[in-house]
């Protein structure tokens, strides 16, 4: 089994750089329009503050959003056995284990570092996967923590939120001033930026999430040494999630990017805004890792 590099580290750096460039570009526009250069630094500081908060509290936020509850080794010896074996193989600390009370089959991991990590399975996924498939899923989730993807997703989510807030600021406060000083072109430019910037930041955020999913698939398959088990689990998850999708709420929509499969039903244009790559592409990569 050979690990195949898709230059995802470079893609991640480029996508995060794009989000920062977009944010600072908006700040520069606001600074130029208001004549106050400090706005660009204000927006950068707000972005850093939101990033730190969401990253530091990522475990609590995600588990609370899914109403998850912790389980002991006596309650779920199968989960503890799998996670302990994989953690020891990776030479990493044992995370806490949680279960989310929903029939939608899924799983996610969260935590600012391996010592503060948590792995959560839904009740639905425990009902449809065998132990070998579940091991593949848990290997995938642990690699999100080991690859520091929680930090990456926290930065991306915070940047997207700040860009949206700044765009709303431009919409409500920037248009009038620019129209008085620069005429209709200034107003139209401001409105266009206010409308398009959040869309651009969302597409970058979701592209980043899809890139990290490919990495976790490959690295998780390396950890378990069983890429076909994860491929089989992904097939089952795609079919089952389509029949029992998660009802979207403001809280769980932020957790969706952490999950191994898109928990919401969506097709067509909505697929463009999916946090996960197409399942057939993920399965094909895993099968190539196994020599198929």
Q: Which residues are catalytic?
A: 141
Report how far residue 167's alpha carbon sits from residue 197's, in angstroms, rounded to the nearest whole number: 7
Q: How far does CA 260 lie from the centroid of its chain?
A: 10
Compute the distance between CA of residue 169 and CA of residue 29 in angstroms, rounded to an integer: 12
Backbone φ/ψ region at 126: left (φ over 0), alpha (ψ -120 to 50), beta: alpha
**In whole angstroms, what separates CA 231 from the centre of its chain?**
20
Sheet containing 107-110: which strands, arranged edge to edge? 69-70, 96-100, 118-122, 107-110
Please, which residues have CB within 8 angstroms of residue 110's CB and are 6 or more apart in sequence? 58, 59, 62, 63, 117, 118, 120, 145, 150, 258
Beta strands in 55-117 (DSSP E): 69-70, 96-100, 107-110
3-state secondary structure of 103: coil
Q: Which tokens sit at 121?
A: 């399975």
């Amino acid at each position: 089994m050979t690990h195949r590099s898709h230059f995802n580290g470079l893609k991640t750096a480029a996508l995060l750089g794009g989000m920062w460039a977009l944010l600072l570009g908006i700040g520069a526009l606001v600074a130029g329009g208001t004549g106050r250069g400090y706005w660009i630094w204000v927006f950068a500081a707000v972005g850093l503050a939101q990033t730190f908060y969401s990253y530091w509290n990522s475990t609590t936020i995600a588990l609370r959003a899914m109403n998850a509850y912790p389980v002991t080794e006596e309650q779920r010896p199968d989960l503890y056995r799998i996670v302990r074996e994989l953690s020891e193989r990776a030479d990493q600390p044992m995370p806490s284990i949680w279960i989310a009370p929903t029939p939608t089959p899924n799983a996610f991991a969260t935590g600012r570092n391996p010592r503060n990590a948590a792995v959560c399975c839904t009740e639905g996924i425990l009902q449809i996967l065998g132990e070998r498939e579940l091991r593949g899923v848990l290997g995938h989730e642990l690699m999100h923590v080991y690859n520091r993807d929680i930090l990456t997703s926290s930065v991306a989510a915070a940047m997207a939120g700040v860009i949206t807030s700044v765009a709303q600021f431009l919409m409500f406060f920037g248009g009038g001033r620019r129209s008085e000083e620069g005429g209709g072109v200034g107003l139209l430019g401001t409105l266009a930026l206010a409308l398009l910037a959040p869309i651009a930041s969302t597409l970058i955020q979701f592209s980043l999430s899809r890139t990290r999913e490919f990495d976790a698939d490959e690295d998780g398959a390396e950890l378990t040494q069983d890429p076909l088990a994860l491929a089989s689990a992904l097939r089952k998850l795609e079919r089952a999630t389509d029949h029992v999708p998660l009802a979207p709420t403001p809280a769980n929509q932020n957790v969706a990017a952490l999950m191994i499969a898109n928990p919401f039903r969506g097709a067509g244009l909505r697929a463009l805004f999916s946090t996960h790559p197409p399942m057939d592409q993920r399965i094909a990569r895993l099968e190539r890792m196994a020599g198929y």
